[in-house]
A = this chain, B = another copy of it.
């Protein structure tokens, strides 16, 4: 049989060899059948739209992607308006189905929510309807050329002119120009600008101002404003991430966002009451980000698993046939833990969203203990975001490499998925910032035992866990199937590292930077514990049966694989013995063929359409070779037989008389 016909059959064979119903798991991964059906309907709406279904971004440079993105943005807004899609979740699904963020990205995701959260009643009444109709297009201008994560360091200044009741905004230095904000370069006519406010010579801290930056009439930058695009980036190339410098421009007093801090007409500064809701907003953003990361890991694992099943390469030992790439132990060993990560992250993201929602409820009801709950959520979401962003982006790149040369082709879409998400390691807090926040929370909890919050309750047993005589109970490889035994190992490990961190911090006179490597270990060990806990919780919520069993196997692999990755931690004071360490490694290898049985169905369970995956090699039907040939035909260079530069640059060489 020809290879091109064999490939689809091999994928069918994998599905036939499995024994689970992926629909059962789809409902769990995708928030129930109703939500999933709605999601698929919305995606189909984009897939059948003459403009919005465009997937030719790989042929475009930054300028072209931006310009085509404007077209997409226009039709997206038209679609929302004409289809009456007012539900926020619907809008989000439709937008994500566009396959790349656009110039209106930050307008949607940051500008409108910031007006909603930080504008007072009259500001909301004035600006929100305009913003929601895309009549004013906004950017969120916080980051500057010289300062990113340290918001307190920003250099843009605002002063209040009582006489005219205006703020004067100014960029006093080169590095004070706003730098990076999405949509700021070419799209936005307004921006929420963060500047350090001075009132009667007194610094009252960084405040947010709504600033018109371009004319509503002809879109030209307003006088005193220099604005432009910062150039091509790793990802987001349809977005005009921009720069902006202000030369003593004036905005009315009413343009400072005044829900919390206020400046009265006589120049009096009214301090904000509480910034706790800001933390809750950060938790919500991270919970959504974690869900996005989980889904993209699922997408990459789906593409890679299907390709690995459909692709044959390398002779079998009897030389009579060829292995499916999926047959290789190393392929399984690299791929299946990533599939496990997609499930673990999805479960953790859902939990976080639930916790966020219940915290929001508690605030609204004015319940006590809200502060400690919020601190926990903020810390845990920090640690999880740091871990998941790193492991998912690395995992997507691993999937790409596991697909060999065909993974290297843009039409596999794996490098596009990578490029669009790898920035998550940087935005919303870099690894180093987040793990410190997380670790400091863990130290605080340790200092105030007993711990009351779910995620740190194990610390109450710290004396037991820190006993260097404590040993893991496992005697056989099979003992590591026991999820509770795994969990205890992760608790012991986390407790020991946190305790060690506390002692190092004391020795270093609380100098965090001197203990930062250890802080990262503490955060990682706790994040992995939370992930394993969420995974186990997720498994136990699946109706019992083969599907539950298959996911439980994935969970076992996740735990055992993580142990092998950080074996030194688990072997500390011989909590795991040398022989037990060998058993864990054995367990990982043992689980690979077990999981292989259902691996294609476990990725099918994510229920991605071919349109969403947009991958020649990740097609549901496995018809990868025809897809590769067909997609190559779209390359603009193939429009002519002879390249444009031939006459000028090749012919003189070929036909030279040298």
Cβ-based interface call for A275 (8 A): no
In the complex, what distance in Å separates the CA atom of A77 from the CA atom of B67?
37
Of the candidates B67, B143, B147, B567, the one whose C-beta lies within 8 Å of that of A571 is B567
Contact A637 B148 (CB under 8 A): no
Interface of chain A: mostly helix, strand, loop or mixed: helix
- Is A328 positioned at the interface, with any CB of B under 8 Å from its CB? yes
Do A425 and B401 contact each other (CB < 8 Å), given the known contacts A4-B174, A568-B568, A628-B145?
yes
Interface string of A489-519 (1 = CB under 8 A from B): 0000000000000000000000111111100
A66 at the interface (CB under 8 A from B): yes
Interface check A634, CB cutoff 8 A = yes
A101 interface residue per 8 A CB criterion = no
Interchain CB contact under 8 A, B234 and A633 = no
User: Could you tell me the distance in whole angstroms from the C-beta of A523 to the nearest C-beta in chain B?
Assistant: 11
Q: Is the CB of A322 within 8 A of B150?
A: yes
B408 touches A233 (CB 8 A): yes
Task: Give bound CA distance, A77 to B649, whole Å.
Answer: 10
The A117-156 residues at the B interface (CB cut-off 8 A) are 133-137, 143, 145-150, 152-153, 155
Q: How far is the CB of A47 from chain B (nearest CB, A)?
A: 21
- Give the residues from 224 to 246 in chain A that come closer than 8 angstroms, CB to CB, to chain B: 228-235, 240, 243
Asked if A313 contacts B150 (CB within 8 A), the reply is yes
- Identify A645's interface contact among B70, B149, B512, B582, CB under 8 A: B70
The chain B residue sitting closest to A637, CB to CB, is B229
Q: A446 vs B640: C-alpha distance in the bound complex, in angstroms?
A: 58
Residue A544 is within 8 A (CB to CB) of chain B in the complex:
no
Determine whether the beta carbon of A173 is less than 8 Å from that of B4. yes
A60 within 8 A of B: yes
| Contact string against B for A residues 616-658, beta-carbon threshold 8 Å, 1 for contact and 0 otherwise | 0000000001101101111111100111111011111111101
* A180 interface residue (CB < 8 Å to B): yes
Partner among B63, B427, B515, B645 whose Cβ is within 8 Å of the Cβ of A59: B63
| Cβ-based interface call for A452 (8 A) | no
Partner-contacting stretch, out of A25-33, A342-350, A573-581 = A573-581
Quick one: which of A72-102 are within 8 Å of B by CB? 73-74, 77, 81
A58's closest neighbor in chain B, by CB?
A: B232
- In the bound complex, residues from chain B placing their C-beta under 8 Å from that of A654 are 134-137, 189, 216, 219
Which residues of chain B are near A149, meaning CB under 8 Å? Answer: 313-314, 404
Q: Which of B63, B231, B331 contacts A410 (CB 8 A)?
A: B231
Contact of A186 among B134, B185, B643 (CB under 8 A): B643
- Residue pair B61, A644 in contact (C-beta under 8 Å): no
A598 interface hit (Cβ, 8 Å): no
- Among A326-352, those with CB < 8 Å from B are 327-331, 333
A432 near B331 with CB under 8 A, answer yes
The answer to whether A645 and B71 have CB atoms under 8 Å apart is yes
| Complex: chain B residue closest to A515, CB-CB | B329
Select which of B64, B174, B331, B634 is within 8 A of A61 by beta carbon: B64
The interface residues of chain B lying within 8 Å CB-to-CB of A407 are 426
Cβ of A18 < 8 Å from any Cβ of B? no
Whether, in the assembled complex, A409 has its beta carbon less than 8 Å from a beta carbon of chain B, the answer is: yes
User: Is B516 touching A330 in the complex (CB atoms < 8 A)?
Assistant: yes
Report the minimum CB–CB distance from A70 to chain B (whole Å). 4
A482: Cβ under 8 A from any B Cβ: no
Residue contacts A-B, CB under 8 angstroms, 9 given: A4-B146, A70-B648, A146-B625, A229-B638, A230-B409, A330-B516, A401-B425, A401-B431, A405-B427
Given contacts A4-B174, A153-B312, A186-B643, 20 further A-B contacts (CB under 8 A): A62-B637, A70-B646, A145-B625, A145-B628, A147-B313, A150-B314, A153-B315, A177-B629, A180-B405, A186-B642, A219-B651, A220-B641, A233-B410, A234-B400, A240-B637, A243-B632, A329-B515, A408-B426, A567-B567, A571-B571
List A residues at the B interface (Cβ < 8 Å). 2-4, 58-64, 66-67, 70-71, 73-74, 77, 81, 133-137, 143, 145-150, 152-153, 155, 173-175, 177, 179-180, 185-187, 189, 216, 218-221, 228-235, 240, 243, 312-315, 317, 322-323, 327-331, 333, 394, 397, 400-401, 404-405, 407-411, 415, 422-423, 425-427, 430-433, 435, 511-517, 520, 564, 567-569, 571-574, 578, 581-582, 588-589, 625-626, 628-629, 631-638, 641-646, 648-656, 658
